[in-house]
Chains A and B, each alone.
Chain A
Amino acid sequence: MEILLVILVGVLYTAGVYMVLRRSILKFIIGIIFMSNATNLLVFLASGIVAGKPAFVDETVQNASKIADPLPQALVLTAVVIGFGLVVFALALKLKFFETTGTDDLDQLKKTDN
């Protein structure tokens, strides 16, 4: 299970980096989505994945090995929400930019440099 997830994280990062390096803004945002999902999975993986165990138990369960660590779940949930908000903002920005300038090409974005 873990080795599969490790491979998945790698694949997602690869795809994300590839997309980020494309010229289109939309593809850039898709790349960011890939990379943010890969990062969320990475956080989950790094803090240890256990299968089929609850994160919250009542007082009757004494054995700590019977539960999953709730903190990474909370972290990832928060990170997912934040990532969601950022991506929506990026999309709205892209939409606005496209309406104003009519271009989706990152190579056209040279006006504010140097």
Chain B
Amino acid sequence: MNSIILQLAAKYVRFLLIFFAFVALLRGHNYPGGGFIGGLLATLAIVYYSYAFDWRSVQKKLFMKPQGYVAVGLLMILLSFSPSLIQDETLMKGIWVSIPFGLLGQLKLGTPLLFDLGVFMTVIGVTLLFFFTLTKRR
């Protein structure tokens, strides 16, 4: 497609979608959202961009193949199991650390976040793979 309006819109909507993807990802532990929904939003950004421009230019911006995203995501999921193994807890038990940030409050990081990030990456990879297989843009 070669529409100037779509291309211009895609440039900005992309950032917006990816921003909201991360918002959905980060608020996802106790509220609606999470890795899956964030991943879908991020994929939406990429797919939208690839409709506006050609697939080659998108490929350059993706750093790696969709399969790579799946692999990294799965690795993150596996890594998120490891702290609970080291601490001799049961599998998949959430382990949290708090990093104080002075006046800003504190940052809570934990294995569920890593797990969600893994899901996020996997979903991006798998959905892109679906999309490019079905539309023959591989």
- Give me the interface of A with B, judged by CB distance under 8 Å: 56, 77, 81, 85, 88, 91-92, 95
Contacts and interface: CB of A to CB of B under 8 A. Distances in A.
- Determine the interface band of chain B, counting residues with CB < 8 A from chain A: under 10
A109 to B, nearest CB: 22
Contacts of B126: 85
Contact of B30 (A56, A81, A88, A92): A56
Given A56-B30, A56-B31, A88 B36 contact: no
Interface of B: 30-31, 36, 126, 130, 133-134
B67 to A, nearest CB: 15
Contacts of A56: 30-31
A8 B78 CA distance: 40
Given A56-B30, A56-B31, A92 B36 contact: no
5 contacts: A56-B30, A77-B36, A81-B36, A88-B130, A88-B134
B66 to A, nearest CB: 13
Contact of B134 (A81, A85, A95): A95
What 4 A-B pairs have minimum CB-CB distances, sorted nearest first?
A: A88-B130, A56-B30, A92-B133, A92-B134
Contacts of A88: 130, 134
